Structure formats: structure tokens, C-alpha cells
Chains A and B, each alone.
Chain A
Amino acid sequence: MTGIVALYIFMLAAFTGYEVIAKVPVILHTPLMSGSNFVHGIVLVGAMVALGAATSPLEKTIGFIGVLLAAGNAVGGYAVTERMLEMFKASGARKGGGAKGSH
């Protein structure tokens, strides 16, 4: 990938992140932080590629730790975010759209 293309991606993605989160009500800050924590769990694919290309024992060891940590980030991030958001759904259903209440 050339540098200038990557710069374009950086810039557009940065605006996207800002815009997506700009209108978020306070009630969703914790689940959203957790959700964005899950999204950077995509580091898993990079760690897999790094370990997949590792040859020396040192590279393999570090790569193994990397994949292990990345899998923890992705899976753990999903588990806690899903649990938190689960309750938001239940509450909305019970109160008939009350989830929109405070905002």
C-alpha cells in the first residue's frame, strides 16, 4: 500500500470515528467504549499474520503471546459489550420505547 493512499484511509477513518460517536447519549458511553475496545480487537488478524510468518523461536514466542492477547481483546470485548447491550434491549421492550427516554 502506498503512503498517500494510507494517509487518505487514516484521514477518512478518523472523521468516520469522530462522526459516529459525536451524537452518542451519555447512557451509552460505557457500552460504546467497550464496543470500540472490541473493534480494535481486529489486531488479532495482524497478530495471526505475524505469527504465521514467524521463523525463529523468539519470533514465534512473541507472535504466540501476541495472538493470545489479541484473541483475549476480541473475545473478551465482545462478551462484555454484548452482555451490557443485552440489558438495553430488554429495558426498551418492557417500557415500549422507553429506552429513548432520558435523551
Chain B
Amino acid sequence: MLDYLNAAALIQASYLVTAFLFIMGLKRMSSPVTARSGILWAGAGMLVATLATFFYPGMSNYPLIIIAVAIGGSIAWISGRRVAMTDMPQMIALYNGMGGGAAAAIAAVELYRGGEMSHTEATLAVVGAIIGAISFSGSLIAFAKLQGLIRKAVRFGGQQLLNLLLLAGAIVCAVMIASGINASPAVITGLFALALVLGLSMTLPIGGADMPVVISLYNALTGLAVAFEGFVLGNAAMIIAGTVVGSAGTLLTQLMARAMNRSLGNVLFSGFGDTGGAATQGTVTGSMKSIDAADVGVMLAFAQKVIIVPGYGMAVAQAQHKVWELSQLLIDRGVTVRFAIHPVAGRMPGHMNVLLAEAGVPYDLIADLEEVNSEFETADVALIIGANDVVNPVARNDKSSPIYGMPILNADKAKNTIVIKRGQGAGFSGIENALFYLDNTRMLYGDGQAAVSQLIAAVKAA
């Protein structure tokens, strides 16, 4: 076929093309107008690189490679096509964990083989191994938590100390391998075992509400691990793509943490809700007052301005299509309707926009926190569907609350606040919501979809 030099040069050239396509793809994905084509650019880049790699000089084990690609690819394709939009965050966590695991596997193959490596290569190989392994096991925990397979945040005394010891142990193994003091299979195995356990024990204590930040962080870490292993293999496409994702992911993680008013250190090293619970319950006074759908229907039909605050609960109840139907009815009656989206509505920044887009809600009706917060004072009705912590006024004034300081939507400032809720329980984070007890708040109990259907009927009757 191709002689050695030509093949190597062609592969390098194709990786250059791939790097270009990836960067252009990400650039296009960062604007709503071009986003759709962005993934096609990036996909083309992946295809070019993968096909070129089959001609890599000195490759063997082709049957194994093809079988592994076929199995991994088809499982991921089917699961990715079938997953509901509400479950997107945990699927991203899962696919990301797989990438971290693959980076760690590359390091494992290179280290167990024990071939010649420079100190720089060996150092980056072990650092990438640790990061990749943490990202792998940590992402699996993130997936399990969001999927509801693990329901409790697991905490025990001395957890930070344990994590520190695990990290120290992994670093000792890493130094021994990289410096060439002892690169025996036992030490290599120890390195991976410690890093995998560290990923588990780091992620287990983190509550579900903080998971988006953690997934984003692991996404960035996988990128770095890929870049480091790319250096070990002398693969420029991996170095560029991995580093781009590493830095973009770090920025994205910071943006998300800021939106939740949590520092990254806070998310990772202090369990959410440690200071909450008993402390916040004392501050809530009064009782929840219920209302029936017919009254809410009249209230909505004769309002001038209605702000809808959708939360993850709305999407779980599959109510977004009904909510859009209700909104259209109101718009036809001359009511101004706005959707107010908190940065962390849904389970990730932007997740709620995806869910509303799925239902057909146009973007010009959707406003983010800064745009809409001043509008609540002029709204006749704030209709809250499946949102909880993001409208909890204790975030504004109760210093003992774990969500104190988080920017919230000022739904309590509307003339009337209607909360559609399944029951009287607390939110995702388990924090009591003071909004539900306010004088101008009424609770409409029921399943989100059924309740909105009743509202549609009531508005039609009004």
C-alpha cells in the first residue's frame, strides 16, 4: 500500500485537518444560528482522524480494534438516540466517563508495556492516568446519582482525610513510575486502583444539585487526560482537541459554579446541605394555601402579564408541551407571556432551553435571570411549574441556608404566585421553600401535566 514515510505524513496531515474541523465546529456550536452545522464539522473531523488511524504504520490487532469500535459505537449510538431529553446530563456524564477511562487505558497499555519513555512522557502518562481514572469512576457516580441509582449523598467522618491519603498514595506511585525508581506492574496497578477509588470517594459526598458543575469539571479533566496521553503517543490531534476541551471545560465549569453562587472548592470539598436542614426549618412560618385549577384559569385568562417559571419537575412530568399550549391560549387572549429561566434550571445551564425548544417554545419568549427579574414586579401572575430552589427567597436573606447568596428568580415579587407541585415535599436539595408560605402564594397540587391540562380547560372556559 503506502510506504512508511508517506503514510506517516498523510496521517499527520489528516490530524491537522481534524484539529481545524474540531475548532471550527466548536466555534460554530457557540452560536445558535450556526450550532447545528458545528457538530457536523466536528463529526467530519472525527471521521477523518479515525479512518486515517487505520493506516498507522506498524499497527496490528485489526480484528480486535474493529470489534471494539463496533460494540462500543453501536451501544452508544442506540443509547444516545433513545435517551430522553430530560436525561441528557447523565448521558453526557456517562460518555465523558468513557473518554476518561479510555485515556487511562492508553496510559495503562503504555506503562505495562514498559517501553522507552522520556521523563516528560512518563510524567504526563501517569498524570493523565490519574486524571482519566478519576474522571472515569467519578463520572460513573455522577451518572448513577442523576439516574436515581444512588439516592443519598454518602458522607462519613474523615472523608477529606481519606481523599487526601488516596491522592497522596497515587502521587507516590506516580513519582515512583515516572522517575523510574520502580515501574513494576504492582506499582502501576496500585496507581490505577488508588485513582479509581479517589474518583468514587470524591464524588459520592456531592449532592445532586451540584452535579452539573461536577460533570462539567470531569469533562474538562477528561480533555486534559486526553491531551497528556496525546503527548505520550506523539499525537497532535489528541493534544489539540484535549487541551481545547480542557480549557473550554474549565471556563464552562466556572460559569456554572458562578451561576449557582458556589465556588468550585465549595462544591468539591463541602457537602451540600451540611449546615441546612434543621437551621432553615425554623425560619419558615405560616402555612401553604391551596387553590383549585378553575380559579387559577380565571386569574391567568384576565391577567395582563404572566411569567412562567419552569423547572426540572415540569420536564419530568412531560408537561412542557401542555405548558406551551397554555401559553399560546393566553397569548391569543392578549396576555403577555414570558418564560423565566434560571441559569441552573433543569440540571445544567441551558438544559431547560433544550427542553422548551423540544416543545416548540420560541426563543424570544424565553428570558434569563438578569433580563426578567425586574419584570416580576409588574407581573400579575408568576406560574411556577416544577421549580423549587431557584425561586426560594431564603437564598436572599437567610444566612444559615445552604443556598444563601444564590441568585434567584424574584417570583415572590409578582402580584400572585401560583405553584404547581405534586406534593408538599422539599426540593432537589431538600431545602424548605419559604415562597410556598407567603401570603400571595397559592399551591395547585397535582401532577404537572394533569394540572396544566386543567388550566387549559379553565382558561378556555373563562
Interfacial residues, chain A to chain B (CB-CB below 8 A): 1, 3, 6, 9-10, 13-18, 20-56, 58-60, 62-92, 94-95, 97-103
A100 touches B233 (CB 8 A): no
Q: Which residue of B lies closest to A48 (CB)?
A: B53
Please give the distance in Å from B341's CB to the nearest CB on chain A: 8
Measured CA separation A27–B351 after assembly (Å): 8
B49 touches A69 (CB 8 A): no
Could you list 16 examples of A-B contacts with CB < 8 Å?
A13-B243, A30-B348, A32-B248, A35-B25, A40-B226, A42-B226, A43-B99, A49-B233, A52-B58, A63-B105, A65-B101, A67-B69, A77-B92, A80-B91, A85-B38, A102-B367
B42 touches A38 (CB 8 A): yes
Given contacts A9-B236, A102-B367, contact A72 B81 (CB under 8 A): no
- Bits for B348-362, please: 1 = Cβ < 8 Å to A, else 0: 111101100110111
Q: Which of A29, A34, A55, A76 contacts B76 (CB 8 A)?
A: A76
A1 touches B234 (CB 8 A): yes
Chain A interface mostly: helix
Q: Which of B70, B98, B234 contacts A70 (CB 8 A)?
A: B98
B102 touches A85 (CB 8 A): no
B363 touches A99 (CB 8 A): yes
A51 touches B65 (CB 8 A): yes
Q: Which of A10, A41, A52 contacts B61 (CB 8 A)?
A: A52
Which residues of the other chain, B, contact A31 by a CB distance below 8 angstroms? 29, 35, 350, 354
Measured CA separation A80–B36 after assembly (Å): 12
Report how many residues on chain B are interfacial, defined by Cβ distance under 8 Å. Answer: 123
* B461 interface residue per 8 A CB criterion: no
A88 touches B92 (CB 8 A): no
Closest 9 CB pairs of A and B: A79-B80, A66-B105, A76-B76, A71-B72, A101-B364, A52-B59, A101-B363, A17-B247, A29-B350
* B458 interface residue per 8 A CB criterion: no
B244 touches A43 (CB 8 A): no
* B184 interface residue per 8 A CB criterion: no
* B246 interface residue per 8 A CB criterion: yes
- Bits for B210-250, please: 1 = Cβ < 8 Å to A, else 0: 00000110010011001101110111111111111111110
Please give the distance in Å from A99's CB to the nearest CB on chain B: 4
B50 touches A44 (CB 8 A): yes
**Best-surrounded residue of B85, B99, B259, B353 (most CB of chain A within 10 A):** B99
A44 touches B102 (CB 8 A): yes
B229 touches A80 (CB 8 A): no
B366 touches A59 (CB 8 A): no
A35 touches B29 (CB 8 A): yes
Please give the distance in Å from A60's CB to the nearest CB on chain B: 6
Q: Which of A17, A26, A70 contacts B102 (CB 8 A)?
A: A70
Measured CA separation A28–B42 after assembly (Å): 16
B248 touches A37 (CB 8 A): no
Measured CA separation A53–B60 after assembly (Å): 6
Q: Which residue of A lies closest to B236 (CB)?
A: A9
- Bits for B67-102, please: 1 = Cβ < 8 Å to A, else 0: 111111111110111010100110110111011011
Which residues of the other chain, A, contact B251 by a CB distance below 8 angstroms? 17-18, 21-22
* B17 interface residue per 8 A CB criterion: no
* B371 interface residue per 8 A CB criterion: yes
Given contacts A21-B252, A39-B244, A66-B102, contact A72 B76 (CB under 8 A): yes
B109 touches A62 (CB 8 A): yes
* Residues 1 to 56 of chain B near chain A (Cβ within 8 Å): 15, 18, 22-23, 25-27, 29-33, 35-36, 38-40, 42-43, 46, 49-50, 52-54, 56
A39 touches B26 (CB 8 A): yes
B358 touches A87 (CB 8 A): yes
A67 touches B29 (CB 8 A): no
Please give the distance in Å from A11's CB to the nearest CB on chain B: 9
Q: Which of B36, B72, B80, B343 contacts A89 (CB 8 A)?
A: B36
Which residues of the other chain, B, contact A33 by a CB distance below 8 angstroms? 92, 215-216, 219, 249, 252, 348
A62 touches B112 (CB 8 A): yes
Please give the distance in Å from A58's CB to the nearest CB on chain B: 6
B35 touches A39 (CB 8 A): no
A79 touches B364 (CB 8 A): no
A71 touches B32 (CB 8 A): no
* Residues 122 to 160 of chain B near chain A (Cβ within 8 Å): none
Which residues of the other chain, A, contact B238 by a CB distance below 8 angstroms? 42-43, 45-46
B30 touches A46 (CB 8 A): no
Please give the distance in Å from B286's CB to the nearest CB on chain A: 34
Given contacts A26-B368, A41-B46, A45-B238, contact A69 B101 (CB under 8 A): yes
Measured CA separation A87–B73 after assembly (Å): 23
Q: Which of A22, A35, A45, A95 contacts B38 (CB 8 A)?
A: A35
Q: Which of B22, B40, B360 contacts A39 (CB 8 A)?
A: B22
B366 touches A54 (CB 8 A): no
